Amino acid sequence: MTLLLDLGFHALRSAYRAGTLDVTRTIEEVLKRIAAAGDDRVWISRATDAALREAAHRLDARRGELERLPLYGVPFAVKDNIDVAGLPTTAACPGFAYDAGESAEAVQRLVEAGAIVVGKTNLDQFATGLVGVRSPYGVPRNPFDPSFVPGGSSSGSAVAVAAGLVSFSLGTDTAGSGRVPAGFNNIVGLKPTPGLVSISGVVPACRSLDCVSVFALSCADADVVLKVLAEPQACAGIGQKFRFGVLRARDAEFFGDEAYATLYSQSIGRLEALGGTPVQFDYAPFREAAQLLYGGPWVAERTSAVGAFIEAADEGAGVWPVTRDIVLGGREYSAVDAFEGQYELAELKTRARAEMAGLDFLALPTAGTIYRVADLEREPVLFNSHLGHYTNFVNFFGLSALAMPAGFRPDGMPFGVTLIGRAHSERALLEFGTRWQRAVPLPLGRTVSQLPPAGEDPTVTEDRVSIAVVGAHMSGLPLNGQLIELGGRLERSGRTAPLYRFYALPGGPPQRPGLVRVAEDGATIELEVWSLPAVQVGAFLRSIPAPLGLGSVSLDDGSSVAGFLCEGYATAGARDITATGGWRAYLKGM
């Protein structure tokens, strides 16, 4: 297989711009690689060679639109539980197959941005599994050692990227299917916040938890795809100094894999070297939530999705026996079980939120170990559940996650870590992931692709510090210009935790409020989170007059940022305006 052509986004785009490469040549190289790979069990169906060449010719005729199309001439693959117009959707079950009349919204967005669908990839049937072996279409060949599982359920999508057959691919992630295959194939796996990317045109597994995920060789490439798939919310970045959650010794489970345990410890050390402070947290609420996915009433949601088909299917339909048992097991749960499960999950969410308070992200092993294909023939259910030990809870809690390569065992099999952040922290994770990939030099998949130069990487950003403002520095108010002049950027609006009293201070103009943390009778107060370049924070501090200053402000999502606080002595004689809920509301009522 010839791997001289770098299919990374930056390499392709630079060559297209320079006129040294056209899309037709890119597609010819993709076809050559697919042919050289032989029967790798990656594909369930493919666009015909003629159709791919025609798509390439059409894009070559549109070269003048290169700057308008962020994915111009980029080949990609789609997990075969996501509709692509003109190709069948099987969900890895021949008897379930149907012809897709139109593409899923996610696929359509990518094609409109200039990307080319090469084909549909293999998966654990009905996206039920984390192993990648539950398919009548065979086991996609792990490019590092075919005797090991490729990871599932998005097995073919991950292998297609790691083997250099396409530039990126779409998977889905309900229980970890967009992360475990990334870890086992030495690539990046982005699992967005549930609901951020449309699941229209996706065969449901657990509809309330399903996400479309992205596999790529680099965080820079995943970032470009994310911006096409959705409009990520602004979020504060992860600074040069950060706090990250790590497993306590009694919570760390590697199922006897000492090499993976060592690699996880090394990853913690690398995060420390990047400026992080590790903080041990209690994994119990996360572990208990993970167990609900296959040991609780959410199995019934899988039954709702495809149970009727499986029950009616004959032997020729190709239903995988383990998949049948799992999906139809949902019939055992009652409506009472469903409600009790919701109550239990709500309690676990509260506990988990408390554990994540003050942390920028959790750093977990993507999986505790990797198994051989033969191991799964012996223990198809237990070993699959082991692979979800660090993944199953994430969508339950509405979080975002980024799986990244983190090293290799002595036998050459990849190990990965996953950064788990709050809802809508995708871009912050990708920016940090770029720093990680540059600091931890590893091959990209099993290719010769290279990271884009730092100066041209869209995810490389300056170090910025988040600052919460509650008064005259808010958008449109008299002192907001001070932030803008120093390079300030509005990241998001929000509220404090219910721990504060709010006062209108004497003096002015401009009038200023004072935010004071209290031990009791606190309330939530409206605020805005801005970010400043780290080099400008000192200048901003010098502009703040007493009795105001910067301290740690707790937010209602459990996080904390630097923000305006007032010294308690200054509230004597000041008007308590806590009941208004914020400075804008107070000004409006004057």
Q: Of these residues, 45, 177, 213, 400, which one is catalytic?
A: 177
Instruction: Give the list of residues 6+ apart from residue 503 with CB closer than 8 angstroms, or none.
Output: 513, 514, 516, 566, 570, 571, 574, 575, 576, 577, 578
Residue reference for tokens 């785009």: 13
Instruction: Give me the DSSP letters along 5-65.
Output: S--SHHHHHHHHHHTS--HHHHHHHHHHHHHHH-S-S-EEEE--HHHHHHHHHHHHTTGGG
Q: Of these residues, 45, 79, 120, 449, which one is catalytic?
A: 79
Q: Mapped to the 3 state alphabet, what secondary structure does 77-118 carry?
A: EEECCECCCCCEECCCCHHHCEECCCCCHHHHHHHHCCCEEE
Q: What is the longest distance spanned by two Cα atoms in the chain?
A: 82
Q: Among this protein's residues, is 79 annotated catalytic? A: yes
Amino acid at 506: P
Residue reference for tokens 């100066």: 455
Q: Among this protein's residues, is 177 annotated catalytic? A: yes
Integer Cα distance of 16 and 498 in angstroms: 54
In 3D space, the residue among 345, 346, 352 whose CA is nearest the CA of residue 282 turns out to be 352
Could you give the dihedral angle defined by the CA atoms of residues 536, 541, 543 and 547, in that order, rounded to the nearest 10 degrees? Answer: 170
In 510-579, the DSSP E strands lie at: 513-517, 526-533, 548-554, 560-566, 575-576
Instruction: Give the list of residues 6+ apart from residue 587 with CB closer than 8 angstroms, or none.
Output: 511
Residue reference for tokens 């959790």: 362
Q: Of these residues, 45, 103, 135, 153, which one is catalytic?
A: 153
Phi, then psi, of 492 in degrees rounded to 5: -170, 160
Q: Mapped to the 3 state alphabet, what secondary structure does 321-343 carry?
A: HHHHHHHHHHHHCCHHHHHHHHH
User: Could you count the other beta carbons within 10 Å of the beta carbon of residue 405?
Assistant: 27
Integer Cα distance of 131 and 408 in angstroms: 19
> How many CA atoms does the CB half-sphere of 102 hold within 13 Å?
7
Burial label, 315 (beta-carbon count in 10 A; 0-12, 13-18, 19+): exposed
Helix, strand, coil share of the chain (percent; to 5): 35, 20, 40
Q: Just list the catalytic residues.
A: 79, 153, 177
